Amino acid sequence: MKPDIMRLIQGNEACALGALRAGCTFFAGYPITPASEIMETMARELPKKDGKFIQMEDEIGSLAAVIGASWAGAKAMTATSGPGFSLMQEHVGYASMTETPCVIVNSQRGGPSTGLPTLPSQGDVMQARWGTHGDHPVIVLTASSVQTTYEMTIEAFNMSEKFRVPVILLLDAVISHMRENITFPEIEIADRKKPVSTDNFTPFSDETFLAFGKGPRKLVTGLGHDERGYPKTTDGTIAEERLKKSFERIDQHLDTILRYKSYFLGDAEWLIISYGITSRAAKAAVDKLQGVGIATGLVDLQTLWPLPEKLIRDLSERVEGILVPEMNLGQMIMPIRMVVEGRATVQALNRADGRLFQPDQIINAVQKMQQKNGQSISKPTNIFR
Protein backbone atom coordinates (compact mmCIF):
# COMPACT_ATOMS: atom_id res chain seq x y z
CA MET A 1 0.00 0.00 0.00
CA LYS A 2 1.11 3.57 -0.68
CA PRO A 3 1.57 5.67 2.49
CA ASP A 4 -0.95 8.31 1.37
CA ILE A 5 -3.74 5.81 0.68
CA MET A 6 -6.47 5.53 3.31
CA ARG A 7 -8.69 2.49 3.60
CA LEU A 8 -11.60 1.46 5.79
CA ILE A 9 -10.64 -2.01 6.96
CA GLN A 10 -11.21 -4.50 9.76
CA GLY A 11 -8.68 -5.00 12.55
CA ASN A 12 -7.97 -8.59 11.56
CA GLU A 13 -7.46 -7.54 7.96
CA ALA A 14 -5.05 -4.82 9.11
CA CYS A 15 -3.11 -7.46 11.03
CA ALA A 16 -2.81 -9.64 7.93
CA LEU A 17 -1.79 -6.71 5.75
CA GLY A 18 0.82 -5.72 8.33
CA ALA A 19 2.22 -9.24 8.27
CA LEU A 20 2.46 -9.19 4.49
CA ARG A 21 4.13 -5.78 4.58
CA ALA A 22 6.66 -7.16 7.08
CA GLY A 23 7.58 -9.92 4.64
CA CYS A 24 5.60 -12.85 6.04
CA THR A 25 5.71 -15.73 3.56
CA PHE A 26 4.22 -18.55 5.63
CA PHE A 27 1.05 -18.88 7.69
CA ALA A 28 -0.24 -21.99 9.44
CA GLY A 29 -3.35 -21.87 11.56
CA TYR A 30 -6.69 -23.26 12.58
CA PRO A 31 -9.92 -21.22 12.40
CA ILE A 32 -11.20 -19.81 15.68
CA THR A 33 -13.39 -16.88 16.68
CA PRO A 34 -12.54 -13.97 16.79
CA ALA A 35 -9.25 -14.41 14.88
CA SER A 36 -10.43 -16.31 11.81
CA GLU A 37 -10.35 -13.35 9.42
CA ILE A 38 -6.57 -13.12 9.81
CA MET A 39 -6.30 -16.67 8.54
CA GLU A 40 -8.84 -16.06 5.78
CA THR A 41 -7.00 -12.96 4.54
CA MET A 42 -3.65 -14.75 4.56
CA ALA A 43 -5.19 -17.70 2.71
CA ARG A 44 -6.32 -15.32 -0.01
CA GLU A 45 -3.27 -13.04 -0.21
CA LEU A 46 -0.22 -15.24 0.47
CA PRO A 47 -0.44 -17.28 -2.78
CA LYS A 48 -0.43 -14.00 -4.73
CA LYS A 49 3.02 -13.31 -3.26
CA ASP A 50 4.38 -16.84 -3.71
CA GLY A 51 3.87 -17.46 -0.02
CA LYS A 52 2.57 -20.62 1.60
CA PHE A 53 -0.66 -21.03 3.54
CA ILE A 54 -1.74 -24.19 5.31
CA GLN A 55 -4.69 -24.98 7.54
CA MET A 56 -3.46 -27.39 10.18
CA GLU A 57 -5.35 -30.00 12.16
CA ASP A 58 -5.17 -27.91 15.34
CA GLU A 59 -3.28 -25.08 17.03
CA ILE A 60 -0.55 -27.39 18.31
CA GLY A 61 0.33 -28.38 14.78
CA SER A 62 -0.03 -24.78 13.61
CA LEU A 63 2.79 -23.40 15.74
CA ALA A 64 4.90 -26.50 15.04
CA ALA A 65 4.58 -25.79 11.32
CA VAL A 66 5.44 -22.12 11.88
CA ILE A 67 8.61 -23.06 13.76
CA GLY A 68 9.63 -25.46 11.00
CA ALA A 69 8.96 -22.85 8.32
CA SER A 70 11.04 -20.31 10.21
CA TRP A 71 14.00 -22.67 10.35
CA ALA A 72 13.54 -23.23 6.62
CA GLY A 73 14.06 -19.49 6.14
CA ALA A 74 10.55 -18.05 6.05
CA LYS A 75 9.10 -15.22 8.07
CA ALA A 76 6.25 -17.13 9.63
CA MET A 77 3.21 -16.51 11.80
CA THR A 78 0.02 -17.98 13.21
CA ALA A 79 -3.13 -16.46 14.70
CA THR A 80 -5.56 -17.81 17.26
CA SER A 81 -7.67 -16.99 20.31
CA GLY A 82 -7.51 -18.06 23.95
CA PRO A 83 -8.30 -21.80 23.68
CA GLY A 84 -5.89 -22.21 20.77
CA PHE A 85 -3.26 -20.11 22.51
CA SER A 86 -3.43 -22.48 25.47
CA LEU A 87 -2.76 -25.41 23.16
CA MET A 88 0.27 -23.64 21.69
CA GLN A 89 2.12 -23.19 24.96
CA GLU A 90 4.40 -26.23 24.64
CA HIS A 91 5.61 -24.95 21.29
CA VAL A 92 5.97 -21.39 22.60
CA GLY A 93 8.52 -22.93 24.95
CA TYR A 94 10.15 -24.84 22.11
CA ALA A 95 10.43 -21.67 20.01
CA SER A 96 11.99 -19.91 22.99
CA MET A 97 14.52 -22.68 23.67
CA THR A 98 15.47 -22.89 19.99
CA GLU A 99 15.56 -19.10 19.57
CA THR A 100 13.15 -19.27 16.65
CA PRO A 101 11.81 -16.04 15.13
CA CYS A 102 8.02 -16.25 14.78
CA VAL A 103 4.89 -14.21 15.43
CA ILE A 104 1.80 -15.40 17.32
CA VAL A 105 -1.34 -13.27 17.22
CA ASN A 106 -3.91 -13.90 19.95
CA SER A 107 -7.27 -12.17 19.59
CA GLN A 108 -8.52 -12.53 23.15
CA ARG A 109 -12.01 -13.59 24.08
CA GLY A 110 -13.68 -14.31 27.42
CA GLY A 111 -12.56 -17.44 29.21
CA PRO A 112 -11.50 -19.78 30.66
CA SER A 113 -12.20 -22.80 28.46
CA THR A 114 -14.55 -22.15 25.53
CA GLY A 115 -15.80 -19.17 27.53
CA LEU A 116 -17.34 -16.25 25.65
CA PRO A 117 -16.35 -16.82 22.00
CA THR A 118 -17.67 -13.55 20.57
CA LEU A 119 -16.97 -11.19 23.48
CA PRO A 120 -13.70 -9.31 24.12
CA SER A 121 -11.30 -9.88 26.98
CA GLN A 122 -7.83 -9.02 28.21
CA GLY A 123 -7.52 -12.26 30.11
CA ASP A 124 -4.45 -13.74 28.39
CA VAL A 125 -1.93 -11.14 29.53
CA MET A 126 -0.18 -13.25 32.13
CA GLN A 127 -0.42 -16.38 30.00
CA ALA A 128 1.38 -14.55 27.20
CA ARG A 129 4.30 -13.98 29.56
CA TRP A 130 4.27 -17.12 31.68
CA GLY A 131 2.12 -19.64 29.78
CA THR A 132 4.86 -22.10 28.92
CA HIS A 133 6.92 -23.80 31.59
CA GLY A 134 10.39 -22.72 32.56
CA ASP A 135 12.16 -19.39 32.33
CA HIS A 136 11.98 -17.97 28.85
CA PRO A 137 12.30 -14.57 27.18
CA VAL A 138 9.29 -13.21 25.36
CA ILE A 139 8.07 -9.97 23.84
CA VAL A 140 4.35 -9.21 24.08
CA LEU A 141 2.80 -6.32 22.15
CA THR A 142 -0.73 -4.99 21.95
CA ALA A 143 -2.80 -2.47 20.00
CA SER A 144 -5.67 -0.10 20.77
CA SER A 145 -6.87 0.67 17.23
CA VAL A 146 -6.98 -0.75 13.73
CA GLN A 147 -4.14 1.62 12.79
CA THR A 148 -1.87 0.43 15.59
CA THR A 149 -2.81 -3.18 14.82
CA TYR A 150 -1.27 -2.75 11.38
CA GLU A 151 1.81 -1.02 12.79
CA MET A 152 2.37 -3.34 15.76
CA THR A 153 2.07 -6.41 13.54
CA ILE A 154 5.00 -5.10 11.52
CA GLU A 155 6.90 -4.33 14.72
CA ALA A 156 6.19 -7.85 15.98
CA PHE A 157 7.95 -9.29 12.93
CA ASN A 158 10.78 -6.79 13.22
CA MET A 159 11.42 -7.62 16.87
CA SER A 160 11.12 -11.33 16.27
CA GLU A 161 13.74 -11.17 13.53
CA LYS A 162 16.10 -8.91 15.48
CA PHE A 163 16.01 -10.80 18.77
CA ARG A 164 15.33 -14.40 17.71
CA VAL A 165 12.34 -14.80 19.97
CA PRO A 166 8.64 -15.58 19.57
CA VAL A 167 6.71 -12.30 19.65
CA ILE A 168 3.09 -12.35 20.78
CA LEU A 169 0.62 -9.71 19.62
CA LEU A 170 -2.45 -9.48 21.86
CA LEU A 171 -5.60 -8.15 20.21
CA ASP A 172 -9.19 -8.71 21.34
CA ALA A 173 -12.56 -9.43 19.77
CA VAL A 174 -13.45 -5.74 19.38
CA ILE A 175 -10.13 -4.60 17.92
CA SER A 176 -10.20 -7.62 15.59
CA HIS A 177 -13.69 -6.95 14.26
CA MET A 178 -14.03 -3.16 14.31
CA ARG A 179 -13.48 -1.15 11.13
CA GLU A 180 -11.57 2.12 10.98
CA ASN A 181 -9.87 4.24 8.37
CA ILE A 182 -6.12 3.67 8.41
CA THR A 183 -3.11 4.80 6.44
CA PHE A 184 -0.07 2.73 5.58
CA PRO A 185 3.01 4.56 6.89
CA GLU A 186 6.49 3.67 5.79
CA ILE A 187 7.98 1.42 8.47
CA GLU A 188 11.48 0.02 8.22
CA ILE A 189 11.43 -3.74 7.76
CA ALA A 190 13.98 -5.83 9.62
CA ASP A 191 15.45 -8.94 8.05
CA ARG A 192 17.40 -11.68 9.73
CA LYS A 193 20.95 -10.87 10.62
CA LYS A 194 23.20 -13.35 8.87
CA PRO A 195 26.75 -14.16 9.98
CA VAL A 196 29.54 -12.42 8.12
CA SER A 197 31.38 -15.73 7.84
CA THR A 198 30.28 -19.33 8.28
CA ASP A 199 33.74 -20.40 9.38
CA ASN A 200 33.36 -21.93 12.84
CA PHE A 201 29.72 -20.82 12.79
CA THR A 202 27.63 -21.85 15.77
CA PRO A 203 23.85 -21.46 15.35
CA PHE A 204 23.20 -20.21 18.88
CA SER A 205 26.22 -18.00 19.56
CA ASP A 206 24.47 -14.69 18.87
CA GLU A 207 21.45 -13.20 17.10
CA THR A 208 22.61 -14.22 13.61
CA PHE A 209 20.51 -16.83 11.85
CA LEU A 210 21.11 -19.29 9.04
CA ALA A 211 18.24 -21.39 7.77
CA PHE A 212 18.44 -25.11 7.11
CA GLY A 213 20.16 -25.87 3.82
CA LYS A 214 22.52 -22.91 4.14
CA GLY A 215 25.96 -22.97 5.68
CA PRO A 216 27.20 -25.75 7.97
CA ARG A 217 25.18 -28.50 9.57
CA LYS A 218 22.82 -27.44 12.37
CA LEU A 219 21.27 -29.25 15.29
CA VAL A 220 18.07 -27.83 16.75
CA THR A 221 16.59 -29.35 19.91
CA GLY A 222 14.27 -28.38 22.73
CA LEU A 223 16.71 -29.92 25.18
CA GLY A 224 19.12 -27.76 27.09
CA HIS A 225 22.01 -27.23 24.67
CA ASP A 226 25.25 -25.42 24.05
CA GLU A 227 25.89 -22.75 21.41
CA ARG A 228 26.31 -25.45 18.77
CA GLY A 229 22.84 -26.85 19.54
CA TYR A 230 24.23 -30.05 21.07
CA PRO A 231 22.21 -31.34 24.06
CA LYS A 232 23.67 -30.67 27.50
CA THR A 233 21.06 -32.14 29.80
CA THR A 234 23.31 -33.00 32.72
CA ASP A 235 25.04 -29.63 32.99
CA GLY A 236 22.49 -27.03 34.00
CA THR A 237 25.04 -24.23 33.97
CA ILE A 238 25.28 -24.42 30.17
CA ALA A 239 21.50 -24.31 29.75
CA GLU A 240 21.33 -21.39 32.16
CA GLU A 241 23.99 -19.53 30.19
CA ARG A 242 22.00 -19.92 26.98
CA LEU A 243 18.84 -18.64 28.65
CA LYS A 244 20.64 -15.66 30.15
CA LYS A 245 22.02 -14.68 26.77
CA SER A 246 18.52 -14.75 25.30
CA PHE A 247 17.27 -12.51 28.10
CA GLU A 248 20.23 -10.16 27.72
CA ARG A 249 19.53 -9.80 24.02
CA ILE A 250 16.21 -8.21 24.99
CA ASP A 251 17.36 -6.33 28.11
CA GLN A 252 20.12 -4.58 26.19
CA HIS A 253 17.66 -3.16 23.65
CA LEU A 254 14.77 -1.98 25.81
CA ASP A 255 14.97 1.45 24.20
CA THR A 256 13.75 -0.03 20.91
CA ILE A 257 11.40 -2.65 22.36
CA LEU A 258 9.41 -0.62 24.89
CA ARG A 259 6.53 1.14 23.15
CA TYR A 260 3.85 3.29 24.76
CA LYS A 261 1.79 6.40 24.14
CA SER A 262 1.61 9.12 26.78
CA TYR A 263 -1.12 11.69 27.30
CA PHE A 264 -1.16 14.70 29.68
CA LEU A 265 1.72 13.35 31.80
CA GLY A 266 3.38 16.72 32.36
CA ASP A 267 1.38 17.89 35.39
CA ALA A 268 -0.51 14.69 36.20
CA GLU A 269 -1.44 14.10 39.83
CA TRP A 270 -3.35 10.97 38.90
CA LEU A 271 -2.23 8.36 36.38
CA ILE A 272 -4.11 5.78 34.36
CA ILE A 273 -2.12 2.86 32.95
CA SER A 274 -4.07 0.93 30.35
CA TYR A 275 -3.61 -1.09 27.17
CA GLY A 276 -5.50 -2.42 24.20
CA ILE A 277 -9.16 -1.55 23.70
CA THR A 278 -9.42 -0.20 27.27
CA SER A 279 -7.09 2.68 26.40
CA ARG A 280 -9.78 4.22 24.20
CA ALA A 281 -12.16 4.68 27.14
CA ALA A 282 -9.24 5.74 29.34
CA LYS A 283 -8.24 8.50 26.92
CA ALA A 284 -11.81 9.82 26.79
CA ALA A 285 -11.88 9.77 30.60
CA VAL A 286 -8.64 11.74 30.80
CA ASP A 287 -10.05 14.39 28.45
CA LYS A 288 -13.10 14.86 30.68
CA LEU A 289 -11.06 14.84 33.89
CA GLN A 290 -8.70 17.44 32.51
CA GLY A 291 -11.70 19.50 31.45
CA VAL A 292 -12.86 19.85 35.06
CA GLY A 293 -9.44 20.54 36.52
CA ILE A 294 -8.44 17.07 37.65
CA ALA A 295 -4.84 16.65 36.48
CA THR A 296 -4.90 13.12 35.10
CA GLY A 297 -2.50 11.50 32.65
CA LEU A 298 -2.49 8.30 30.64
CA VAL A 299 0.10 5.73 29.66
CA ASP A 300 -1.21 3.51 26.86
CA LEU A 301 1.08 0.48 26.92
CA GLN A 302 1.90 -1.04 23.54
CA THR A 303 4.64 -3.28 24.95
CA LEU A 304 3.31 -5.33 27.86
CA TRP A 305 6.33 -7.58 28.29
CA PRO A 306 8.95 -6.56 29.05
CA LEU A 307 7.16 -4.04 31.26
CA PRO A 308 8.46 -0.44 31.07
CA GLU A 309 9.52 -0.51 34.70
CA LYS A 310 11.60 2.68 34.74
CA LEU A 311 8.78 4.73 33.23
CA ILE A 312 6.26 3.44 35.78
CA ARG A 313 8.67 3.85 38.68
CA ASP A 314 9.52 7.43 37.72
CA LEU A 315 5.85 8.39 37.32
CA SER A 316 4.90 6.76 40.62
CA GLU A 317 7.28 9.09 42.45
CA ARG A 318 5.30 12.19 41.46
CA VAL A 319 1.63 11.15 41.24
CA GLU A 320 -0.88 10.64 44.02
CA GLY A 321 -2.38 7.47 42.65
CA ILE A 322 -2.43 5.07 39.70
CA LEU A 323 -5.52 3.41 38.23
CA VAL A 324 -5.18 0.22 36.17
CA PRO A 325 -8.39 -0.62 34.28
CA GLU A 326 -8.39 -4.10 32.73
CA MET A 327 -10.89 -6.41 31.12
CA ASN A 328 -9.91 -9.20 33.46
CA LEU A 329 -9.98 -9.70 37.22
CA GLY A 330 -6.52 -8.24 37.76
CA GLN A 331 -3.42 -9.23 35.79
CA MET A 332 -1.17 -6.28 34.88
CA ILE A 333 -2.02 -4.70 38.24
CA MET A 334 0.24 -7.23 39.98
CA PRO A 335 3.55 -6.42 38.24
CA ILE A 336 2.70 -2.70 38.27
CA ARG A 337 2.24 -2.79 42.05
CA MET A 338 5.58 -4.55 42.41
CA VAL A 339 7.31 -1.87 40.37
CA VAL A 340 5.62 1.00 42.24
CA GLU A 341 6.64 -0.47 45.62
CA GLY A 342 4.26 1.71 47.61
CA ARG A 343 5.38 5.05 46.17
CA ALA A 344 1.78 5.74 45.14
CA THR A 345 -1.61 4.13 45.60
CA VAL A 346 -2.30 1.59 42.85
CA GLN A 347 -5.98 0.83 42.33
CA ALA A 348 -7.49 -1.85 40.10
CA LEU A 349 -10.63 -1.45 37.99
CA ASN A 350 -11.72 -4.78 36.60
CA ARG A 351 -14.46 -6.48 34.62
CA ALA A 352 -14.58 -9.89 32.94
CA ASP A 353 -18.12 -9.88 31.57
CA GLY A 354 -17.17 -9.30 27.94
CA ARG A 355 -18.26 -5.66 28.03
CA LEU A 356 -16.09 -2.64 27.35
CA PHE A 357 -15.31 0.01 29.91
CA GLN A 358 -17.16 3.28 29.54
CA PRO A 359 -15.30 6.55 30.26
CA ASP A 360 -17.60 7.37 33.19
CA GLN A 361 -16.60 4.16 34.97
CA ILE A 362 -12.96 5.17 34.80
CA ILE A 363 -13.81 8.73 35.84
CA ASN A 364 -15.71 7.45 38.88
CA ALA A 365 -12.74 5.30 39.88
CA VAL A 366 -10.34 8.27 39.70
CA GLN A 367 -12.78 10.37 41.77
CA LYS A 368 -12.98 7.66 44.42
CA MET A 369 -9.19 7.60 44.60
CA GLN A 370 -9.31 11.36 45.19
CA GLN A 371 -11.83 10.97 47.97
CA LYS A 372 -9.79 8.28 49.70
CA ASN A 373 -6.80 10.57 49.48
CA GLY A 374 -8.75 13.37 51.18
CA GLN A 375 -9.02 15.60 48.12
CA SER A 376 -12.19 17.35 47.02
CA ILE A 377 -13.63 16.53 43.63
CA SER A 378 -13.61 19.38 41.16
CA LYS A 379 -16.92 20.23 39.48
CA PRO A 380 -18.47 16.75 39.68
CA THR A 381 -21.73 17.89 38.08
CA ASN A 382 -20.00 18.74 34.78
CA ILE A 383 -17.87 15.68 34.35
CA PHE A 384 -20.27 13.52 32.35
CA ARG A 385 -21.58 16.22 30.02
Same-domain pairing of 175 and 279: no
Of the pLDDT bands very low, low, confident and very high (cuts 50, 70, 90), residue 348 is very high
Same-domain pairing of 250 and 282: no
Average pLDDT of the segment spanning 72-87: 98
Same-domain pairing of 187 and 284: no
Q: Tell me which of 257, 285, 307 is where a domain ends.
A: 257
pLDDT computed for residue 56 by the predictor: 98
Rounded to whole angstroms, how far apart are CA atoms 86 and 41? 23
Same-domain pairing of 243 and 316: no
Rounded to whole angstroms, how far apart are CA atoms 134 and 254? 22
Average pLDDT of the segment spanning 247-265: 96
Same-domain pairing of 36 and 127: yes
Same-domain pairing of 270 and 223: no
Q: Tell me which of 228, 257, 286 is where a domain ends.
A: 257
The CATH number of residue 283's host domain is 3.40.50.920
Range of the domain at 203: 1-257
- pTM of the complete model: 0.95
Residue 4: CB partners within 8 Å, gap ≥ 6?
183
pLDDT computed for residue 384 by the predictor: 33
Model confidence pLDDT, tens digit, residues 265-297: 999 999 999 999 999 999 999 999 999 999 999
Q: Does 357 have pLDDT greater than 70?
A: yes
Number of compact structural domains in the chain: 2
Same-domain pairing of 230 and 342: no
Q: Tell me which of 231, 257, 283 is where a domain ends.
A: 257
Of the pLDDT bands very low, low, confident and very high (cuts 50, 70, 90), residue 375 is low
